[in-house]
Chain A
């Protein structure tokens, strides 16, 4: 009785091809936040979204690797990537199909591909979270370079630079500073006892628990710690002075997968995903992400986007620096 039931369930699952109304979305955004978008879309359109997520430790890299592996026979319709650089690296590999959603016309041009191969929306910034029981406000680092000083030796954490937005952060430094200076900086972090955590949320937990004093993460991770009433505060690095580096600003990326099995459903979903309505949901939620549409209010616990100095980088160039960054991380940190 068990065996036929088992095989029946397995076959039913294999035969269960999604209808053409459903969009298959590979999503590296946090499930908790992404589901709010999917539910809003399903309620509005009456169409289903079938999502596949990444684990925290393999953020985005896992899904992009899967898309590359499936290139000959794509299974996904849309990539919703929370990591700008990993997603844009797919553009050069011919995995993105052109599509220009009308709902993103008001988004600044620098956050969109002129050929429609990717569209940015709902950005995050990199912030420093510090433990207020261990760090006085006057001691808080002002620049990422300060983490290489003696005060923070062994007392700061970053997530694994191979994955997630830390990989964007590191690759952005390679794009901005050049390989030699960025490699030397990573070596300095290593020499100063950088604690490598499993992911941004692990960095948040370590800072919140006082296992380290400060840590780099995305602003949504930091906001979760604030809302959980942990003894922490947020600082935005590299903001002061005319020559300030600025902090990385990373839009989410919506990408129509080349050869998507359900292109019409994919386009409809992308239209919603990059719209002001979706950005409003992401800003209001614990995701605390900055809308890129002008006039849409930003997250309440963070300064407005026009008061944040963003690092000036070409997103495609950041994506192209990923291999050099990965190689340097492997050599320096042994990861």
Chain B
């Protein structure tokens, strides 16, 4: 009877999460059902997409992993600021930084093609591996690394001790970057090569027929889901440490070369922004012709903030009942797989669903939220796993409802992770161009889409001014997305 009761309770608790993830995956399931009716695949650009993703991810892992290792093991002046400034590259897509870079007076004449595009995209996404490697260094057993410091030379210590200990971070960083690059279309367009994602976007836009895009969508889906499956193990190994205590490295003083290396990514961000500023100042009167209106500015900021808050609220509401269940791990994995699917494919799926049921076209926010819904679940799980189980057991002694207990005790403790997830969701939503171009209604616009439209033909000064506005608005969106959950949860402390 107890077993049956336990199973029923687990089923009851997992139901919200299952409904949430099923709804999020519904558009993709619908697209796949179209494939089942007409099983055709087009892999003509898949190999290019894979080469682009693997090369870019390798560059990102090499640079980000190295910098993360340096920041995690060495005491570098201004380390926290340098890491934060490096992470700023994630606040906008690689193409945004590249457009600014080309306006900075740096010779870019020979930079084109797949290899160059992969190198540039990898460089701009290096902060993913940096942050993961940095997080992993905090989990390294202090005694093991100190022993290595005493007994091994620097090269051997890095090769035989540090890299193996950072392997989950480097592996998950590589795969997460590859997933993002498989869904990237702007860099291939700018560098003049095809990938599966560019084919999906152009074919769908050219025909506005989901059926025409399905043969390209299916192999791409296969690639991202495979990468997502491979990423689960290293990412969970990083997020869910098996034991606590005695971890974290005592940082030693960095050499000048190591300190200088940490300026690489902030330097790239600064150079790109200076390119926009330089272009903007090339003809100051053009400020007046800046194609930005109030409603575009407000909606461009409000949309990512709302998406972040809704995704976090829904993710937490669905994850709370199953937080102590064994099923939560599987559900978090499913959420991670949904996140691996590019937002543009979600957008196409929602359009297909709308057409099939003669429903009005959904706002872009639906596509964004359905893609990222798994992120707060994973963030919640990762943070909750670090809490001592006895803490919540003790809280059970207080005579309040389970929801009130979660609100009062659990959420403040997992707050920082959810705040980070909220910021990431806002950044991803703000950075999108593909979904906006497919799902916006006449009269609506978004800053990032406008920047791409302007970069086609507008004078340099307009592009420069817009780039700066886009960066400022992106920063505002991320800041607001963080302020919301922070205000709610930290107040509880």
Contact = CB atoms under 8 A, between A and B. Distances in A.
B146 interface: no
Given A65-B208, A211-B110, A32 B454 contact: yes
**What is the interface residue range for chain B against chain A?**
35 or more
Nearest to A7: B310
Contacts of B363: 9-10, 13-14
Contact of B205 (A1, A13, A49, A65): A65
A76 B208 CA distance: 15
A195 B191 CA distance: 12
Interface stretch (A104-112, A176-184, A199-207, A305-313): A199-207
Contact of B443 (A51, A62, A200): A51
Nearest to B436: A55
A66 B206 CA distance: 8
Interface residues of A, number: 60
A153 interface: no
A51 B445 CA distance: 9
B310 A3 contact: yes
A98 interface: no
B453 A56 contact: yes
Interface string B347-390: 00000000000001011011001000000000000000000000
B457 A62 contact: no
Contacts of A211: 109-110, 112
A55 B190 CA distance: 13
B440 interface: yes
A227 B207 contact: no
A62 B206 contact: yes
A334 B44 contact: yes
B234 interface: no
Contact of A202 (B192, B202, B314): B192
Interface in B438-493: 440-443, 445, 450, 452-460, 462, 484
A196 B314 contact: no
A56 B192 contact: no
A198 B313 contact: no
Contacts of A69: 208-209
Contact of A10 (B291, B365, B453): B365
Interface string A282-302: 000010000000000000000
A30 B457 contact: yes
A2 B306 contact: yes
Interface string A153-171: 0000000001100000000
Contacts, number: 141
Contact of B291 (A26, A35, A57, A199): A35
B442 A52 contact: yes
Contacts of A220: 457
A22 B291 CA distance: 20
A233 interface: no
Contacts of A25: 442
B408 interface: no
Contacts of A35: 291
A50 B454 CA distance: 18
B189 A198 contact: yes
A266 to B, nearest CB: 12
A14 B360 contact: yes
A43 interface: no
B309 interface: yes
Contact of B208 (A5, A49, A66): A66
B10 interface: no
Interface string A20-34: 001011100011110
Given A10-B363, A51-B442, A51-B443, A58 B458 contact: no
Contacts of A48: 443
A244 interface: no
B110 A50 contact: no
Contacts of A334: 44
Given A31-B453, A57-B202, A334-B44, A3 B459 contact: no
A58 B442 contact: no
Contacts of B274: none
B108 interface: yes
Given A26-B442, A76-B442, A32 B452 contact: no
Interface string B76-116: 00000000000000000000000000100000111010000
Interface of A: 1-3, 5-6, 9-10, 13-14, 18, 22, 24-26, 30-33, 35, 48-58, 61-62, 65-66, 68-69, 75-76, 162-163, 195-202, 205-206, 209-211, 220-221, 224, 227-228, 286, 334
Closest 5 CB pairs of A and B: A50-B443, A62-B205, A58-B205, A69-B208, A209-B109
17 contacts: A2-B313, A6-B306, A6-B310, A6-B365, A6-B369, A25-B442, A30-B453, A31-B453, A51-B442, A53-B445, A68-B208, A198-B189, A200-B456, A201-B456, A221-B457, A227-B459, A286-B459
